[in-house]
């Protein structure tokens, strides 16, 4: 049975009537995304797909292979989900003509969402997230910005094709803070995009850290336009200074099927660095209108991080009392959101700690750990103990308010 004709599984009655908003999905960049849009002087310089010595297709920039080509989609045209251990996204991946059209085609995505019972999706890039470090490293800054601008233009077009149901996030040229502010304005005012995505650790690439006043021009624009800043785990490895996806974090003795979840844990917990820094900074006081989202990293670990920060940072010592500062929990609830997908403990047992106003739902379509094929049913089962008011916030209202999505 194909994906588009599969019957929708019955869901918890509480979900009936809600317009479900999926806050983390991905867009598979078509092979001609940049070459078809680039001005003549950039046509041979922008990212393109080439065949390597071993016959595999890769995205190439400035003569350097960036990432395998294939769309990072693990949902096939037939509608089935293939095993993450059979074709790891850190290795060869799958072939473009094997992946489901909803991975890259806006109209197919909306049809796919109709089959799921999902009203809207927030959408993130693949290579424009995972490989942003290569743009930072480019000596030709004009080319780097052209690549960012072209992607955002394409996302404006894609959103327009999505009948008000698709909300791709704009990528930022954050190596130039004033240019990033201008691009955020352009993304919102000219392209109709509803948020931005960038790294939570620009200082790892020699840029100012997010707490420094250098970022104030960017924060002013983001705050005025009410554009949330989304820190996706895919953007965390910056300029080769953080753990790469291929680093050997798993034991060599483990079978291949076991290594992927070990890698996933390490990658996703990278966002603990971003959150722990943010909640002890003065950003939430100086820029209360700037909202931050920890994307594709779950929420079950967040209470520990906040408790750990508060225990040590707010501890009194003789002659050195605790600083007069808000608690990490206050800071989190004021400006930070977390997203979950497969978890049960996080969204059901930790609402009192985190606050239901700060939690959103995602499916991670079409990545290896996405909730496909029955995302809504699986989530309804996981949230069976959540009351109707909190369920409405988590599955609909929080995202609608944050991303300005009409209901």
For 197, the 3-state DSSP assignment is strand
Please give the Cα distance from 59 to 235 (Å, whole number).
Answer: 17
- Residue 187's pLDDT is 98
Quote the tokens at residue 102. 């909803």
- Residue 274's pLDDT is 93
Quote the tokens at residue 325. 């500062």
Enumerate the β-bridge partners of residue 230. 197, 293
- Residue 8's pLDDT is 41
- Residue 9's pLDDT is 39
Q: What are phi and psi of 389, to 5 degrees?
A: -65, -45
- Residue 2's pLDDT is 42
For 288, the 3-state DSSP assignment is coil
- Name the fold adopted by 3-26+106-402: TIM Barrel (3.20.20)
- Residue 248's pLDDT is 63
| Sign of the torsion formed by the C-alpha atoms of 394, 397, 401 and 403 | positive
Per-residue tens of pLDDT for the chain, all 407 residues: 344 444 443 455 768 889 999 999 999 999 999 999 999 999 999 999 998 877 788 899 988 888 788 888 999 999 999 887 666 554 555 578 889 999 999 999 999 999 999 999 999 999 888 778 788 888 899 999 999 999 999 999 999 999 999 999 999 999 999 999 999 999 999 999 999 999 998 998 889 999 999 999 999 999 999 999 999 987 754 434 344 455 568 898 998 888 888 888 888 888 999 999 999 999 999 999 999 999 999 999 999 999 999 999 999 998 999 899 999 999 999 999 999 999 999 998 998 889 999 999 999 999 989 999 999 988 888 888 888 999 999 999 999 999 999 99
Please give the Cα distance from 146 to 134 (Å, whole number).
Answer: 14
Q: What is the pLDDT of residues 106-123, one digit of tens each?
A: 999 999 999 999 999 999
In the chain, where are the structural domains located? Answer: 3-26+106-402
Please give the Cα distance from 269 to 299 (Å, whole number).
Answer: 10
Query: Going by DSSP bridges, is the β-strand pair 118-124/166-168 parallel, antiparallel, or unpaired?
Result: parallel
| Sign of the torsion formed by the C-alpha atoms of 67, 243, 196 and 15 | positive
- Residue 149's pLDDT is 97
Please give the Cα distance from 277 to 272 (Å, whole number).
Answer: 8
Q: How many residues does the chain have?
A: 407
Quote the tokens at residue 14. 């509480």
| Residue for token pair 């294939």 | 70
């Amino acid at each position: 049975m194909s994906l588009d004709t599969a019957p929708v599984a019955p869901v918890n009655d509480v979900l009936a009537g809600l317009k479900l908003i999926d806050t983390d999905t991905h867009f598979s960049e078509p092979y001609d995304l940049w070459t078809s849009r680039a001005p003549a002087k950039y046509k041979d310089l922008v990212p393109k797909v080439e065949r390597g010595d071993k016959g595999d297709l890769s995205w190439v920039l400035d003569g350097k292979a960036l990432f395998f080509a294939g769309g990072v989609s693990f949902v096939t045209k037939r509608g089935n989900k293939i095993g993450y251990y059979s074709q790891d996204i850190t290795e060869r991946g799958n072939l473009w003509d094997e992946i489901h059209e909803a991975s890259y085609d806006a109209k197919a995505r909306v049809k796919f969402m109709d089959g799921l019972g999902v009203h809207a999706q927030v959408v993130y890039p693949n290579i424009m997230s995972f490989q942003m470090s290569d743009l930072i490293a480019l000596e030709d800054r004009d080319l780097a910005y052209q690549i960012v601008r072209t992607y955002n233009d394409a996302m404006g077009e894609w959103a327009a094709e999505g009948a008000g149901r698709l909300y791709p996030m704009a990528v930022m040229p954050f190596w130039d803070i004033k240019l990033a502010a201008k691009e955020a304005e352009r993304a919102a005012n000219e392209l109709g995009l509803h948020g931005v995505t960038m790294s939570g650790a620009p200082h790892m690439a020699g840029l100012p850290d997010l707490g420094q006043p250098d970022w104030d021009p960017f924060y002013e624009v983001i705050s005025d336009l009410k554009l949330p800043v989304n820190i996706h785990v895919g953007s965390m490895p910056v300029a080769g200074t953080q753990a790469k996806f291929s680093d050997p974090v798993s034991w060599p003795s483990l079978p291949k099927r076991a290594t992927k979840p070990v890698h996933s844990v390490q990658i996703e917990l990278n966002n603990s660095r971003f959150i722990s820094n943010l909640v002890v900074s003065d950003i939430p006081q100086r820029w209360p209108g700037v909202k931050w989202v920890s994307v594709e990293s779950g929420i079950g670990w967040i209470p520990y991080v906040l408790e750990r920060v508060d225990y040590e940072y707010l501890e009194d010592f003789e002659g050195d009392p605790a600083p007069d500062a808000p608690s990490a929990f206050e800071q989190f609830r004021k400006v930070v959101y977390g997203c979950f997908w497969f978890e049960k403990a996080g969204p059901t047992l930790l609402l009192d700690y985190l606050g239901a106003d700060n939690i959103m739902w995602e499916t991670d379509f079409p990545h290896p750990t996405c909730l496909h094929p029955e995302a809504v049913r699986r989530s309804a089962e996981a949230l069976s103990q959540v009351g109707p008011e909190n369920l409405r916030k988590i599955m609909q209202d929080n995202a609608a308010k944050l991303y300005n999505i009409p209901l």
